[in-house]
A and B are shown apart, each in its own frame.
Chain A
Amino acid sequence: MSFLETILGSIKLENPVIIASGVLATTGEGMKLLYEKGAGAVVTKTTTLNSKPGNPNPTIVSTPSGLLNSMGLPNPGIEEMSREVAVACREGVPVIGSVAGFSVNEFVEVAKRFEEAGVIGVELNISCPHEKVGLIGQDCKLTYQVVKAVKNSVKIPVIVKLTPNVTDIAEIALEAEKAGADALTAINTVKGMAIDVNTGYPILGAKIGGLSGPAIKPIAVRCIYEIYESGVKVPIIGVGGISNWRDALEFLMAGSSAIQIGTAFMKGYQIIEKIKKGLTGYMKKNKLQTLTQIIGIAHKRC
């Protein structure tokens, strides 16, 4: 067993560094490349039943310590995305299909098509901050319904991506687990906005977007800590502002079994190997054999 191997329910990954949804994994070749660059798994761009052009530009604007985006789930629809995914899956890339829909049935249909294409699991995006589907993740009942319906329709693991834009994230996490979620991803971006003071115009085409990057890291760590503390049994995948191996370690200590990288790709693909190298070095230095010795240790220190 390698130092960095991690287990997410029935999913076993060579390393815990996963490419977050919405980042780069838009084409089969893009997914292959991310795997070649060292990722443990790749989450696709969120896919809906029909193609979606996304929001008008600007869809991205930087802030002093993060990015605001309002992409609006642009995707070619599941039919074309499943062809892209199949290209990567045939080459052995561990792909997780990110699913969204405008009805429970759409979630089910897209998840089933991803399963047929060969993904190792699906991640339900019920938390996109600038799309209506994001409202699902703010409501226990809707979360339960969507997760349950997808669980009943596919055999592969179902991961649920949670939003921090709620009063109590642990409550939603427990509801997702009750509905059968095999793992949880936390967090999606935090709602935000930027206005150009010279012209008075909101900068993003969709006006309101989601904040990612270093600015949201403490929020993400807190959310993961709270979810873990709530007694959730399923593994948590931590995401939100991880820019280096120390950040990744912090997420593991808060209770994540794996981590996702998004905004940090602004620094280039090498961020994946840098995080892996840093974690390996830390484990060697501290004579640790497996990641399970780190995961959640912050809870034991209290």
Chain B
Amino acid sequence: MHKPRICKILKVENEAENIKTVYFKDRMISSRIIPGQFIMVWIPGVDEIPMGVSHIGLNSELAITVEAVGEATERLCSLKEGDFIGVRGPYGRGFSPPGLSNLIIGGGTGMAPLMPLIEHCVREKVKVNVLLGGGSLSKTPFIKKLKNILNTQLECFKVTTEDGSYGCKGLVTDLLDEVLLKNSFERVYACGPELMLKKIYEYSLERRLPLEVSLERYIKCGIGICGSCYIGPYRICVEGPVFKINELEKIRNILGEWTRDSSGRLIPLK
């Protein structure tokens, strides 16, 4: 079961600078996955990496959205239609089902695992508000896709870029007051850089918001036995990657402070 299944790449889309969305089919994953769960993607001869799924479509169609930042992700981004990857999963705990009104906050490629949740909200015809942050217009994924959805159903879609090349200039967390003071939400979901999530967590704690975040750590086995992805008492690959706000209490002191490299060494995040 925990063995890569080979799939043919159906198409590759340019999502933003150095960011691509790779489409493939896998019935095992598509029939079980819930938004927020992750899969292990094998690039034969190169590496195997954990990836959030950025699209859960009909007919077993799935997608991952990859930023070229290292050897494995660069190779993934260079793959073409007809090439092969191996996949196993889905793994971990995903997001709770959306409520009647939802706020979704993504930072850069952190928006990837939130995309199927947005697709789900649209299908279920529930209210969805989206905040997306990025460095600049050219480096921020999903803007076009989200704008298309906006035409149909997104209640509010706001983008921030650090250089001001699109949307508001600044960080996505700068928008929290504006959006949250005007609305109340049954669910708030977030994924992105850990410092961003830390800020959203502290903000949500103060205002008792029903937050769920997706965290990231170095994952090797993906099935909860190797211990490489611990954050406090939690294994990201089993108890995570999605955590509810009350569960974050146990890792409040670590969140946004430390991560671990592949050896398990602590690496400061700031």
Binding site for B on A (CB under 8 A): 22-27, 29-30, 32-33, 45, 51-54, 56-63, 67, 69, 71, 74-77, 80-81, 194, 196, 198-199, 201, 203, 205, 262-263, 265-266, 268
Known: A60-B220, A203-B4. Is A76-B266 also a contact (CB below 8 A)? Answer: yes
Contact between A45 and B233 (Cβ–Cβ < 8 Å)?
Answer: no
Q: Is B78 an interface residue (CB 8 A)?
A: no
CB-defined contacts of B261 to chain A, threshold 8 Å? 53
30 pairs, A vs B, C-beta closer than 8 Å: A22-B226, A24-B227, A24-B235, A27-B230, A29-B230, A30-B230, A33-B233, A51-B263, A53-B261, A56-B46, A57-B40, A58-B4, A61-B3, A62-B1, A67-B2, A69-B221, A71-B220, A74-B262, A75-B264, A76-B263, A80-B265, A194-B3, A196-B6, A199-B86, A203-B3, A203-B42, A203-B86, A205-B47, A262-B225, A266-B224
Q: Is B44 an interface residue (CB 8 A)?
A: yes
Within 8 A of A (CB), among B227-242: 227-228, 230, 232-233, 235
**Given known contacts A24-B226, A67-B2, A196-B44, what 10 new A-B pairs fall within 8 Å (CB)?**
A22-B226, A25-B227, A26-B264, A27-B264, A51-B265, A74-B263, A74-B264, A205-B48, A266-B223, A266-B224
Total number of residue pairs linking A and B with CB closer than 8 Å: 119
Contact between B225 and A57 (Cβ–Cβ < 8 Å)?
Answer: no
The 4 closest A-B pairs by CB, nearest first: A26-B227, A57-B48, A62-B2, A201-B44
CB-defined contacts of B68 to chain A, threshold 8 Å? none
CA distance in complex: A69, B44 (Å): 16
Cβ contacts B1-22/A at 8 Å (1 or 0 each): 1111010000000000000000
Contact between B84 and A265 (Cβ–Cβ < 8 Å)?
Answer: no
Q: Which of B45, B49, B226, B235 has the most CB of A within 10 A?
A: B226
CB-defined contacts of A265 to chain B, threshold 8 Å? 224-225
CA distance in complex: A266, B260 (Å): 22
Contact between B225 and A23 (Cβ–Cβ < 8 Å)?
Answer: yes
CA distance in complex: A153, B49 (Å): 41
CB-defined contacts of A71 to chain B, threshold 8 Å? 220, 226
Q: Is B106 an interface residue (CB 8 A)?
A: no
CA distance in complex: A45, B264 (Å): 10
Contact between B262 and A266 (Cβ–Cβ < 8 Å)?
Answer: no
Binding site for A on B (CB under 8 A): 1-4, 6, 40, 42, 44-49, 84, 86, 220-228, 230, 232-233, 235, 260-266
Which residue of chain B lies nearest to A54 when distances are taken between CB atoms in the complex?
B262
Contact between A53 and B263 (Cβ–Cβ < 8 Å)?
Answer: yes
Contact between A199 and B266 (Cβ–Cβ < 8 Å)?
Answer: no
CB-defined contacts of A33 to chain B, threshold 8 Å? 233
CA distance in complex: A266, B226 (Å): 10
Which residue of chain B lies nearest to A197 when distances are taken between CB atoms in the complex?
B6
CB-defined contacts of B233 to chain A, threshold 8 Å? 29-30, 32-33
CA distance in complex: A80, B263 (Å): 11
CA distance in complex: A27, B233 (Å): 9
Taking a contact as CB atoms closer than 8 A, the residue among B6, B49, B262, B264 that contacts A199 in the complex is: B6
CB-defined contacts of A32 to chain B, threshold 8 Å? 233
Which residue of chain A lies nearest to B6 when distances are taken between CB atoms in the complex?
A198
Contact between B6 and A26 (Cβ–Cβ < 8 Å)?
Answer: no
CB-defined contacts of B45 to chain A, threshold 8 Å? 201
Contact between A27 and B227 (Cβ–Cβ < 8 Å)?
Answer: yes
Contact between A80 and B266 (Cβ–Cβ < 8 Å)?
Answer: yes
CB-defined contacts of B44 to chain A, threshold 8 Å? 196, 199, 201
